[in-house]
Amino acid sequence: MTDCADVARERLATLPTPLHPAPRLSEHAGVEIWFKRDDLTGLGLGGNKVRALEFLLADALAQGCDHLVTGGGPQSNWAMLAALAARTRGMPSTLVSYGDPPAGGAVGNHALAVLAGARLHFTGDPDRTSADRGVEEVCGRLREEGLTPYGVYRGGATGLGALGYAHATAELDEQVRDAGVRPRQLWLATGSCGTQAGLVAGRAWLQAEHDVVGVTVSRPAPECRERVHRIASEACGLLGVSARPLQVEIIDGFMGPAKGARSTAGETAAELVARTEGVFLDPVFAAKAMAGLLAAAADGTVEGPVVFLVSGGAPTLFTA
């Protein structure tokens, strides 16, 4: 079995992130809930993407790359943190966003990306996948200029990036043992699928007892299942985990009106968490996942203890 330490890693996060009970929320839900606070990973305003960046940025540096290129939307937590991480290692970046520049100017993650010194490129195409095509185009132009770009598609959702959450599984395993709690499930928001894939791979790697439950917030459930399984399989290969069935559990029905949009159920869930535990959930990812967990608790289809991954995304709290 390979240890994550055998793969190049650039330390960016302040770890371990806290694990703590949420007693008032638990009382409301009727299920024992604990928070894994990956909104407190330290780089910038924190967030789950920092863990993936530790492995992806290390790979870029090991290959001698001198420019990071990645993409997403104007409010992409991933893209902003990627630009910030690269800058801390002296590497400039270009962020490719689908669509056009926001009419109201730079706010939220868009503004922070500008502050981090990222070059911004908009595709002019509202199709989200245009950002991935744009990454390829920008990398091609940079190579023509004599540079060595490192291109990463949206979310950093690759087997290598997923090692961040395989490692987080080991971290969590130690924390729950120290706390004397045996969680039945770990719930999280699933968007680009890399975080859940890493947790699924980590579960297989360590033979952890808890199930990993992703609430899809931006993709159809079948697509999520395929992506999580594929990326987790890639991560297992890097870890030297022998081939075995991977359990991928996706909860649907909480995406809201559109990808990247707030939902009424998510807003209600985020308000409850803020007022009971003093924790802010971002409106388009973690809030929707919490809505899914609360609905399952109300239906009696989930048993505690449950760990909920607070995945960050604070800058999106200040956007419409």
Does residue 2 surpass a pLDDT of 80? no
SS3 of the chain: helix, strand, coil, percent, to 5? 45, 15, 40
Q: Which CATH architecture has domain 4-48+158-318?
A: 3-Layer(aba) Sandwich (3.40)
> What are the Cα distances from residue 155, in Å, to 168, 185, 260?
17, 24, 13
Q: Which residues are catalytic?
A: 76
Segment 48-75 shows an average pLDDT of 96
Q: How confident is the model at residue 320 (pLDDT cuts 50, 70, 90)?
A: low
Residue 215: exposed, middle, or buried by beta-carbon count in 10 A (0-12, 13-18, 19+)? buried
| CATH class (in words) of the domain with range 64-147 | alpha beta
- Mean per-residue pLDDT of the chain: 94
pLDDT, tens only, 79-126? 999 999 999 999 999 999 999 988 877 888 999 999 999 999 999 999
pLDDT value of residue 5: 53
Give the pLDDT band of residue 261 (cuts 50, 70, 90).
Answer: confident
* 202 and 210 Cβ atoms separated by less than 8 Å: no
- List, for residues 262-293, the tens digit of each pLDDT value: 999 999 999 999 999 999 999 999 999 999 99
Tokens linked to 234 = 């890639």
CA distances from 267 to 18, 256, 270 (A): 24, 10, 5
Across 1-30, average pLDDT: 89
Tell me the β-bridge partners of 215.
189, 251
Q: What percent of the chain has pLDDT over 90?
A: 87
Kindly list the distances between the CA atom of residue 104 and the CA atoms of 95, 100, 186, 317, in Å, as whole numbers in the listed order: 19, 11, 38, 16
Q: Tell me the per-residue pLDDT of 161-215, one tens digit each, with 9 for 90 and over.
A: 999 999 999 999 999 999 999 999 999 999 999 999 999 999 999 999 999 999 9
Rounded Cα distance, 283 and 69, in Å: 26
- CATH 3.40.50.1100 residue ranges for the chain: 4-48+158-318, 64-147
If pLDDT is split at 50, 70 and 90, which confidence band does 4 have? low
Crossing angle between the packed helical segments 49-62 and 159-179, to the nearest 10 degrees:
130
- Spatial separation of the C-alpha atoms in residues 148 and 142, rounded to whole Å: 7
